[in-house]
Amino acid sequence: MIHEFSTPVKVHTPHGAGECILLIDYGLNINSVWLVRLKGGVVKHYYSEDIRVYGNAMNGMGIDMDIPHNWK
């Protein structure tokens, strides 16, 4: 299944912040792939464990994302 986000989802990757445009789901036994647009228009694909999704600060919990130390 391929899901195109009508509003890009803000994410953080090992290469910095970006916006997810597509999510490719191969099923339960295979990791999903996120297509992310990075700064400068660079497009990269990431497995689910290689990105962090920004939370919505309007839900009262703030942004609760932990970025690994070796990421930008």
Digit-coded pLDDT (tens) for 4-46: 999 999 999 999 999 999 999 998 888 999 999 999 999 999 9
* pTM greater than the 0.85 cutoff: no
- What residue spans define the domains of the chain? 2-56
- What are the tens digits of pLDDT across the range 39-70? 999 999 999 999 998 776 666 655 667 777 77
CB 67 within 8 A of CB 50: no
